[in-house]
Chains A and B, each alone.
Chain A
Amino acid sequence: MLAALAAGLLCAAIALIFFYAPVDADQGLSQKIFYFHVPIAFTAYACFGWGAWKALLVLWKRKPGADQESYVAIHQGVIFGALTLITGSIWAKISWGVWWTWSERQLVLFLVLFLFYCAYFMLRFSVEPGPQRENLCAVYALFGVVLIPVSFLAIRLAENFIHPTVFTSRGPQMATSQFATFCVALAAMIALAGTLYRVELLGKRLDARLRELRELLT
């Protein structure tokens, strides 16, 4: 059901982006990337937040499935984070002619978070499965969610002494039609993430159950 919603929203979003939203006066066609790039970024944050919430449940309420849900959520977050970096990089190439710029705060923040959450996987796969691994991963996920605002502040402060910004970035000051399109795109991305999350969780649970069945039979 969620998959149908995601598919429908995605199609609607793409249609709106290309047929409805007016072409931006300043940036022209390249502004269309915004409609994907920013929702993907938001979705990544949402995934990390959801992962941290599940991590809290692991530590606090000791809910049995929460560790796996936290892991899958963070996995989704990393995928969408990678997508954010790639689409952001392409957008930078169009707007300013370079594949990477340190003056784009969101991109730099994502790079730091990407590194942090990749290390999450290193951590997870170097510890034997069990309650300790659940605890460690949960604590790390919570550290991550605290790191997000702290890093953002740090990056903002760093701009004062890192290379002077030659490029100015345009925030999305959008007309209403653009904003509506943006909202649909955001909803579409979140629905997509939700669908992928469900699918992946289902796959993992099936795996576990089959393993159990195999042990019972042999």
Chain B
Amino acid sequence: MTAYLADVATLARKDLRLELRTRNTVPAMLLFVVAALVVFHFALPAGSSELAAKGLLWVAIVFTALLGLTRAFVAEREQRLIDGLLLAPCDRSAIWLAKSVAVLGFLVVAEVVALPAFALFFSGIDGATVAGVALADLGICAVGTVLAAMAVAGRARELLLPLLFLPLAIPVVVGGVGASVTGHPGRYLGFLALYDAVFAIISWASFEYVVTE
């Protein structure tokens, strides 16, 4: 078990360090999420409720996550690193966990900027929203990593990932918006936790099959 976690830590550290050095993905995600929020301001006609804006926050998060996920396996594919990774004497699912953790890190950094920006442009963020964002992030990264690995195997990978990801993101949006908007966030946070648990398990179990050739 500790060896497994050590593998995960090593792989995750590799991705994070790579990102720190090349600064490819996170700045783009930051800029994207702020730009999206500005677009949303112009997309909401006068008299739109504050709740509509909260809903759009979740749209911004999903698409920013997509941006990060699209970059997730690109480096591996481009430099054939994936073969090296697969030869490494670690459980394939450790690759999944490490990659999810890395993408989660990028997404959290983007949200640390996005949530205050949202509070600035639109309305305040309450605890339920933050909890919702945290739970949603887990599910998005778990599922997204598997789908990103699938998409990378085909042609047209940047086109394919959004198609694969969006239907699976719908329950996350429902949970998140419900937590932000209604008076009973508990139910929605519980649902998000359920989504996370269920999809994390099948992602963890199936990742091995996705990367074998």
Contacts and interface: CB of A to CB of B under 8 A. Distances in A.
A–B direct contact (CB < 8 Å): yes
Interface of A: 59, 112-113, 115-116, 118-119, 122-123, 126-127, 131-133, 135-136, 138-140, 142-143, 146-147, 150-151, 153-155, 157-158, 160-161
Contacts of B79: none
Contact of A142 (B160, B182, B206): B206
Of B188, B191, B206, which is in contact with the most chain A CB atoms at under 10 Å from its CB? B206
B187 interface: yes
B167 A116 contact: yes
B55 to A, nearest CB: 9
B181 A132 contact: no
A15 to B, nearest CB: 39
B177 interface: yes
Nearest to B180: A161
If over half of B's interface residues share one DSSP class (helix, strand or loop), that class is named, otherwise mixed; here it is helix
A84 B51 CA distance: 33
A218 to B, nearest CB: 29
Interface residues of B, number: 38
A103 to B, nearest CB: 15
Interface of B: 51, 143, 146, 150-151, 153-157, 160, 163-164, 166-168, 170-171, 174-175, 177-178, 181-182, 184, 187-188, 191, 194-195, 198-199, 202, 206, 209-210, 212-213
B163 A122 contact: yes
Of A115, A123, A147, A154, which is in contact with the most chain B CB atoms at under 10 Å from its CB? A154
Nearest to B155: A126
A123 B160 contact: yes
B167 A119 contact: yes
B191 A142 contact: no
If over half of A's interface residues share one DSSP class (helix, strand or loop), that class is named, otherwise mixed; here it is helix
A115 B146 contact: no
B40 to A, nearest CB: 18
A139 B209 contact: yes
A116 B168 contact: yes
Contact of B209 (A59, A154, A155): A59
B198 A139 contact: no
A118 B175 CA distance: 24
A139 B206 contact: yes
Sort A-B residue pairs by CB-CB distance and give the 10 closest, nearest first.
A126-B154, A154-B171, A116-B167, A154-B174, A127-B154, A119-B163, A135-B209, A139-B206, A158-B174, A115-B167
A173 B82 CA distance: 56
A73 to B, nearest CB: 19
Contacts of A131: 212-213
Contact of A143 (B163, B168, B212): B168
Contact of B153 (A132, A143, A161): A132
A112 B202 contact: no
Contacts of B146: 139, 143
Contacts of B202: 142-143, 146
